[in-house]
């Protein structure tokens, strides 16, 4: 029997305690066991298994093609690679179209992956769904502002809350989602002033992405943070490394050495 004390995984109560203490919440995405282990040992509080894997792992232009099976496969891998961070799995496009199907799909995610929470995109229309999930013991993170699963309905990617109509809607959505039982709310591409206002109006933490520095926490796509991309990251993401260049250099050296060390490889002599 190991003498080591098992690592205690963070819970939504721990996340709430961070908010009460005024300590910022650090969150990153991960899509496999190795990345999960790396970001966790660096100290992140939460890991999001984001449907952004459709863009950065599977090569899709949007998150819409990502399936429930995709999310379950990657979330289970992240679970195997982590032991401390609270894990949140995105519910992909089409998996929460009504409270009944949302509950069935979220139960499947929880059972088959072992994550601690799910994330649901959408505002007032998602209130009955979140109430249903929470009522059945599932922790839910909400997500408003820019919701990538609605990119076509919204007409593209842009900052939200710039006019009073949009700002009023976001304020109403945030209050309603907190009342529905969400333990946190992602604010994506919300104007910084409005994101700060919403953060101060809630007791649950806001997790910003492209929404300024005054949210209770921050989430980024890990590939954007470490420069593991083949195209430029979003304007709000400041890469702290250039992993893509390291990979290209290492592979280039490998290819050159492989070809130089082996030289011409003779063809087998044909029997005459």
Binding site feature residues: 51-52, 90, 119, 121
188 is catalytic: yes
Task: Answer yes or no: are the C-beta atoms of 222 and 29 closer than 8 Å.
Answer: yes
Which residues lie below 8 Å from residue 86, measured CB to CB, with a gap of 6+?
9, 10, 11, 12, 14, 15, 45, 46, 47, 116, 117
Please tell me whether residue 121 adopts helix, strand or coil conformation. strand
Residues making up the binding site for 3-methyl-2-oxobutanoate: 51-52, 90, 119
Ramachandran bin of 222, using left for φ above 0, alpha for ψ from -120 to 50, beta for the remaining angles: alpha
Residues making up the binding site for Mg(2+): 51, 90, 121
Task: Answer yes or no: are the C-beta atoms of 126 and 177 closer than 8 Å.
Answer: yes
Q: Which of 23, 61, 188, 272 is catalytic?
A: 188
Task: Answer yes or no: are the C-beta atoms of 119 and 88 closer than 8 Å.
Answer: yes
Catalytic residues: 188
């Amino acid at each position: 029997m190991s003498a080591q004390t098992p690592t205690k995984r963070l819970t939504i109560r721990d996340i709430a305690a961070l908010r009460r203490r005024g300590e910022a919440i650090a969150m990153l995405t991960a899509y496999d066991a190795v990345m999960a282990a790396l970001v966790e040992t660096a100290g992140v509080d939460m890991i999001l298994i984001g449907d952004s894997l459709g863009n950065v792992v599977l090569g899709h232009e949007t998150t819409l093609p990502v399936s429930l099976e995709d999310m379950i496969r990657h979330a289970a891998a992240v679970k195997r690679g982590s032991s401390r961070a609270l894990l949140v799995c995105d519910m992909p496009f089409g998996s929460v179209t009504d409270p009944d199907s949302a509950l069935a799909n979220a139960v499947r995610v929880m059972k088959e992956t072992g994550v601690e929470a799910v994330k649901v995109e959408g505002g007032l229309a998602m209130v009955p769904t979140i109430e249903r999930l929470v009522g059945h013991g599932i922790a839910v993170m909400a997500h408003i502002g820019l919701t990538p699963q609605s990119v076509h309905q919204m007409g593209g990617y842009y900052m939200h809350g710039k006019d009073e109509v949009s700002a009023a809607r976001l304020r109403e959505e945030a209050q309603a989602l907190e009342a529905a039982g969400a333990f946190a709310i992602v604010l994506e591409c919300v104007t910084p002033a409005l994101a700060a206002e919403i953060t101060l109006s809630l007791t649950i933490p806001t997790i910003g992405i492209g929404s300024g520095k005054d949210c209770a926490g921050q989430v980024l796509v890990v590939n954007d943070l470490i420069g593991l991309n083949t195209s430029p990251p979003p304007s709000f993401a400041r890469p702290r490394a250039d992993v893509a260049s390291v990979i290209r250099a290492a592979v280039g050296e490998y290819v050159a050495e492989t070809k130089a060390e082996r030289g011409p490889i003779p063809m087998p002599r044909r029997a005459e």
